[in-house]
Amino acid sequence: MKEEDVEIAIKVVVVGNGAVGKSSMIQRYCKGIFTKDYKKTIGVDFLERQIELNEEEVRLMLWDTAGQEEFDAITKSYYRGAQAGVLAFSTVDRASFEAIENWKKKVEEEVGSIPLVLVQNKIDLVEDAVIEPEEAEALAKRLKVRFYRTSVKENLNVDDVFKYLTEKYIQKLQATDVEENATTNAKIGIFNTTAPPSSISTANNNDSGNDTIQLRPTKQRTKGKKQSFKMCLLL
């Protein structure tokens, strides 16, 4: 496959209690549709959307996980391989807000530290809100995640959530690529070592055993093609 044909694929898990709007959010983002009829997700559901960001082709694979406790054993296995995640709660559901830290813990137990966002959905129902704005902001600060208020019904800020996660993941890939190249360059650069006096000769004939061997990279060593960060990461 040619390098220009390689796309970035990102698995995003959307977690939170039942009825907070996880399925509706994914449907809105991937299909541009909204339905107010609630249908409980059984296990997991999955949709994709292809986008272009900063001249990069990105395929987002969005996993909608059931929020009910009886599906916990099933859904946790689908967190594996996730590269980003959404922690969702509802403006009109206090229990969903209080469960966020537990959802974050469940995800990180399976996949470690990944880009996450906190989403307060159904802000169009602000008159019936049971969470104060300051509470939600304080939770995001404590969890050290970006915070978005969304209305899937009004299509408010939904695109911004997934654009941010995509940007954060691409930045992470770029940082990893730079770090790997820096490590490779360090290995073929100039460094100090020791050798027995009989095996090397120096300008001042110092036999202390602390001689410096100057190793410089040759053209052959540095000729290798720099790796692109554009990798396809799948399940």
User: In this structure, is residue 129 part of a structural domain?
Assistant: yes
User: In this structure, is residue 195 part of a structural domain?
Assistant: no
Model confidence pTM above 0.85: no
User: In this structure, is residue 201 part of a structural domain?
Assistant: no
The position carrying tokens 């100039």 is: 190
What pLDDT does residue 76 have?
A: 75
Average of per-residue pLDDT across 72-79: 74
Which residues make beta-bridge pairs with 90?
121
- Nearest Cα to 88, choosing from 167, 19, 169? 19
User: In this structure, is residue 217 part of a structural domain?
Assistant: no
Predicted confidence (pLDDT) per residue in 161-210, tens digit: 999 999 999 998 888 777 666 665 555 454 444 444 444 444 444 444 44
DSSP 146: E
Q: How far is CA 127 from CA 14, 29, 92, 206, in A?
A: 26, 25, 9, 83
The position carrying tokens 């709007």 is: 21
> CATH number for the domain including 73?
3.40.50.300
User: In this structure, is residue 211 part of a structural domain?
Assistant: no
Q: Please indicate whether residue 214 or residue 181 has the higher confidence score (pLDDT).
A: 181
- What b/e string do you get for 126-146 counting C-beta neighbours within 10 Å, with b at 16 or more? eeebebeeeebeebbeeeebb
Number of domains forming the structure of the chain: 1
Indicate the helix (H) or strand (E) that contains 141.
Answer: helix 133-143
Q: Please indicate whether residue 83 or residue 228 has the higher confidence score (pLDDT).
A: 83
Quote the domain boundaries for residue 106. 3-171
Maximum average pLDDT range among 61-70, 180-189, 207-216: 61-70
Average of per-residue pLDDT across 73-91: 88
d(CA 46, CA 111): 18
What pLDDT does residue 119 have?
A: 98
DSSP 47: E
Whether the pLDDT of residue 33 is over 50: the answer is: yes
Whether the pLDDT of residue 56 is over 50: the answer is: yes
CB 23 within 8 A of CB 64: yes
- Nearest Cα to 24, choosing from 68, 69, 62, 53? 62
What pLDDT does residue 131 have?
A: 97
Predicted confidence (pLDDT) per residue in 89-142, tens digit: 999 999 999 999 999 999 999 999 999 999 999 999 999 999 999 999 999 999
45 pLDDT tier (thresholds 50, 70, 90): confident
Maximum average pLDDT range among 40-49, 64-73, 200-209: 40-49
User: In this structure, is residue 71 part of a structural domain?
Assistant: yes
Predicted confidence (pLDDT) per residue in 11-25, tens digit: 999 999 989 999 999
What pLDDT does residue 212 have?
A: 41
Strand, coil or helix: 35: coil
Whether the pLDDT of residue 158 is over 80: the answer is: yes
| Phi–psi pair at 53, nearest 5 degrees | -135, 125
User: In this structure, is residue 205 part of a structural domain?
Assistant: no
What pLDDT does residue 233 have?
A: 38
User: In this structure, is residue 165 part of a structural domain?
Assistant: yes
